[in-house]
Amino acid sequence: MNIKRILCPTDFSDFSAHALEHAATLAGYYTSTITVLHVFDAIEPSVDLALLERLREATVRAAEPAADKSVEVDVRVEVGSPVRQILECASSLPADLIVIGTHGAGGFEHLVLGSVTEKVLRQAPCPVLTVPPPAEGVHPEGSVLFRRIVCPVDFSPASLAALAHALKLAEESCAEIDVLHVIEWLAEEDPTAHIAGFDVPEFRRQLQLDAEARLRTLIPGEVRDWCKPREQVTGGRPWREILRVAEERKAELVVMGVRGRNPIDLALFGSTTHHVVRGARCPVLVVHTD
C-alpha cells in the first residue's frame, strides 16, 4: 500500500476526533502526512479575517493528537461548500486516502441522508475510510490495528480491486481475512419456484458450489502461505449478510469496491454500500474503480 498523503476533514466533533485517531495510526505506519481540513460552510466567500484565524487555531488544536504521535501534520481552513472543498483538496494534494467520520456536528450529522460523508464517498478521487462512532469491543482505544478484515466480493471489477487492497492490508498487518460472496436467493414463494421440474434447493446448491469455486480461484497461492483466508458464501440481502458476518467475526475493517463516478454509477451507488457504511460498527474502506 502506498499511502503518503491522508486527508482528514474535521468539524471539531468527538466523531471527527475519533476519525483522526485512525488517520494518525495509519500515518504512523505508512510514514504519511495528514492534512487536517476544516471547511467553514458559508454562502459568501468573504469571511471576517479574525474568524478565519480563530478557525485555524481550532483546527490546529484538533490536529494536536496526531502531531503528538510524531506524525507530520498540516492544517487548512477553507470557506464554502464542505463537499466541494473536501473533494478539491483531495484532488490538489493529491490525497491517497480520505479518512472521515460518519457522524458529527453540522454537515456530518446525518450519514447517507444528503450528508457530506455520503457525497464524499460517491465522488472521491481516492479510497475513503469511514469511521463510525467508537463502539465497545471493536477497537482498543487509539488503535486501528486491522486484525480481522471482511471483504465482500460480487466478482465485479470494482470488488476485485477492493479485494486486492484487502489482501495487501491483511498481509501488512498479519490480519485474518474473510472473503464473502452473498447470493440473493430465489425465494421459495417466487413464481419460478412453482414451474414444473424446477428444483429450487438444487439450484441454490449449484449456485453456492459455483461461487465457492470462484472465490477459491481469487486467492493467490502465496497468500495462503502467510495467512488462512476464509471463503464464505451465504444467501440473503447482501448488506445484511455483510453486516452480520462483520459482527460475528468481530471485523475491524470492511473493504468494499464501488464502480466509477459517472451519473449512472452514482444513481446505483446507494444500496449495499449505503447500508454497510451506515450500519457497520467498524471502519469501512470504500475503493472506487472507473
The CATH number linked to 51 is 3.40.50.620
Each residue's pLDDT tens digit, 62-85:
999 998 888 999 999 999 888 999
| 221, part of any domain | yes
Same domain? For 124 and 186 the reply is: no
Question: Do 45 and 110 have their domain in common?
Answer: yes
Q: Is residue 140 part of a domain?
A: no
159 plus 238 within the same structural domain: yes
Which of residues 72, 100, 131 is at a domain's end? 131
Residue 240: band (very low, low, confident or very high) from pLDDT cuts 50, 70, 90:
very high
> Does residue 265 share a domain with residue 195?
yes
Looking at this protein, which amino acid is placed at residue 104?
A: G
Compute CA distances 106 → 119, 129, 148, whole Å.
Answer: 15, 20, 32
Q: What is the pLDDT of residue 113?
A: 34
**Could you list the residue range(s) of the whole structural domain that residue 31 is in?**
5-131
- Report the number of distinct structural domains present in the chain: 2
**Are 19 and 68 found together in one domain?**
yes
Which of 82, 105, 131 is the last residue in one of the domains? 131
230 has pLDDT over 80: yes
pLDDT in tens, 130-140: 998 875 544 44
pLDDT at 68: 85
pLDDT at 289: 78
Pick the last residue of a domain from 131, 165, 187. 131
**Residues 154, 284: one domain?**
yes
More reliable by pLDDT, 18 or 44: 18
pLDDT at 15: 85
Q: Same structural domain for residues 40 and 90?
A: yes
pTM: 0.86
CA 61 to CA 285: how far, in whole Å?
Answer: 27
Q: What is the mean pLDDT of the chain?
A: 83
Is residue 137 assigned to a domain?
no
Is 24 part of any domain?
Answer: yes
Q: Which carries the bigger pLDDT value, residue 20 or residue 142?
A: 20
CA distances from 121 to 55, 213, 237, 271 (A): 25, 32, 22, 13
pLDDT band at 24 (very low <50, low <70, confident <90, very high): very high
Please check whether residue 142 lies inside any domain of the structure. Answer: no
Rounded CA separation 97/168 (Å): 15
DSSP state, 5? Answer: E
Where helices occur in the chain by DSSP H, the ranges are 14-30, 49-68, 82-92, 116-123, 157-173, 200-218, 221-226, 238-248, 263-268, 270-279
User: Does 122 share its domain with 178?
Assistant: no
Decide if pLDDT at 141 tops 70.
Answer: no
Same domain, 229 and 202: yes
